[in-house]
Amino acid sequence: MNSRDVISLGLGLEAPWEIKGQILDTEKVPHELRLTIKADRGAKYPCPVCGAMCKAHDFKVKTWRHLNFFQHHCYITAPVPRIRCEHHGVKQITVPWARKGSKFTLLFEQAAMVFVRDMPVLTAARILEMKDKRLWRIIRHYVNQALARMDLSGLKAFSLDETKSRRGHRYITVFIDLDRKEKPVVFATPGKGKKTLKAFKRFLADHQGKAENVVEVVSDMSGAFISGIKTHFVNSNITVDWFHVVQLFSKAVDEVRRKEAKEVRMPRAARWATLKAAESDLTEKQLDALAELEAMDLHTAEAWRIKELLRWVRRATNLRAARWRLTWFLNLANELCDDKKLLAPVRKALRTVEKYREEILARWISEHSNGRIEALNGIFQAAKVRARGYRNDETFITIIYLLAAPLQNLLKST
């Protein structure tokens, strides 16, 4: 077996294609190995529509970047024919080593996709010694092709949440299939609010899914999200994950602390002491801060005690007990907050819980939570930090799909 046979096997060449020439250009940096592939004169080629073997009509010389040959860049050049088919007329054939319209071989693109799964695109582009914009075009092609083949006919429950895409109020809303154990992201779209639910409903219909088959949606307490769910997924039950209830009151406590700190000198470590759970592993300084807050009878201490009562509600073992505990909690908390100006953020949080009481209580009969999507948001933001941000929402969405969507046969080119 000679060197041409080895390279032919690596490229997967079949008749009538053969390697006719190879030149190593050492004058260029990096050096370039250029392979010439041709077919014998008079060879026939398959019609890309029907597969019938046809004669060449004319030729156009094309060049593709291939995987490096040791440290040298490798390029393949071939005269690619258009054939004349009796049934379909003149057609451009597809070569076996590259997809239609690409300037790279399939093996090069496969290596590129392996790189970008594990590192920022700019880093992968530097390793491959190519412009990152060209690498992005490869990534988008394969991700979009895989998305087009996604089947959502079995989707019955989903969760949604927004993740920040850029500075300012720029967000991307991500949707996950709650019944999928791995790679659960099924849709991502720029923006947040009711319009994202409309976009997802349209995407679902385009991928064999039906909005009327969705029986549960897990969301936060965003009014726009809940309104969109009720409008576009009318058969679904809405569940507000408990994580968002705790988060709502944690933010309220912190807002009370910051406002009160302008009037009273706060104990050191008060911030983290009030954000953590009383039963968590508090440091000695944090325990001292809580004791001092209680002794000073500050509004921050009152807000913290209300937040901690939520844990008692959470420990209810069934829906009936949860309903009674939540009602008792709301009544007591409203009494404690009455006519206290600094506790306005807590009163606002209580009104939000009252508004979405039934959606919160649905947590006791649901088997799903928002925990997975919150964890995924951390992964997406970490990827964004490693890449030092993305040019636009489209590139960030592409990375989200690449990291966490069920893209089967990602390197299938058609």
- pLDDT tens digit string along 178-233? 999 889 999 999 999 899 999 999 999 999 999 999 999 999 999 999 999 999 99
Domain end position, chosen among 364, 382, 405:
364
**Alpha-carbon gap, residue 282 to 291, rounded angstroms:** 12
Share of the chain above pLDDT 70, in %: 96
**Alpha-carbon gap, residue 310 to 24, rounded angstroms:** 72
Domain end position, chosen among 76, 97, 118:
97
Is residue 276 pLDDT above 60, yes or no? yes
| Residue 250, domain member (yes or no) | yes
Question: Residues 256, 260, 265, CA angle at the centre, nearest 5°?
Answer: 135
Burial class of 382 by CB neighbour count within 10 A (0 to 12, 13 to 18, 19+): exposed
Give pLDDT, residue 187: 96
SS (H, E, C) 267-300: CCCHHHHHHCCCCCCCCHHHHHHHHHHHHHCCHH
Strands 157-166 and 216-219: parallel
pLDDT in tens, 321-349: 999 999 999 999 999 888 888 999 999 99
| Residue 284, domain member (yes or no) | yes
Rounded mean pLDDT, 273-287: 81
Give pLDDT, residue 26: 86
Give pLDDT, residue 232: 96
Burial class of 243 by CB neighbour count within 10 A (0 to 12, 13 to 18, 19+): middle
Rounded mean pLDDT, 261-266: 87
| Residue 229, domain member (yes or no) | no
Rounded mean pLDDT, 115-136: 91
| Residue 271, domain member (yes or no) | yes
Question: Residues 400, 359, 275, CA angle at the centre, nearest 5°?
Answer: 70
Is residue 152 pLDDT above 90, yes or no? yes
What does each C-alpha distance from 181 to 154, 312, 397, 406 come to in angstroms? 14, 31, 21, 10
Give pLDDT, residue 170: 87
3-class SS of residue 204: helix
Give pLDDT, residue 160: 94
Q: By mean pLDDT, which of 5-9, 135-139, 226-230 is the weakest?
A: 5-9
- Indicate the number of domains in the chain: 2
Q: Where does 8-52 show beta strands of DSSP type E? A: 17-25, 32-39, 44-46
Q: By mean pLDDT, which of 71-80, 136-145, 272-281, 303-312 is the weakest?
A: 272-281
395 φ/ψ angles, rounded to the nearest 5 degrees:
-70, -40
Is residue 11 pLDDT above 80, yes or no? no
Rounded mean pLDDT, 3-10: 68
3-class SS of residue 367: coil
Q: Confidence class of residue 414 from pLDDT cuts 50, 70 and 90?
A: very low
Q: Confidence class of residue 174 from pLDDT cuts 50, 70 and 90?
A: very high
Q: By mean pLDDT, which of 3-17, 114-128, 166-180, 349-363 is the weakest?
A: 3-17
State yes or no: cis peptide before 81, omega within 30 of 0: no
Rounded mean pLDDT, 27-50: 89
Burial class of 289 by CB neighbour count within 10 A (0 to 12, 13 to 18, 19+): buried
Give pLDDT, residue 64: 94
Give pLDDT, residue 27: 85
| Residue 196, domain member (yes or no) | no
Give pLDDT, residue 267: 82
What does each C-alpha distance from 96 to 77, 93, 99, 391 come to in angstroms? 13, 10, 8, 34
Give pLDDT, residue 3: 62
| Residue 182, domain member (yes or no) | no
Domain end position, chosen among 72, 97, 122:
97
| pTM of the predicted model as reported, rounded to 2 decimal places | 0.84
| Residue 139, domain member (yes or no) | no
Segments forming the whole domain that contains residue 52: 3-97
| Residue 25, domain member (yes or no) | yes
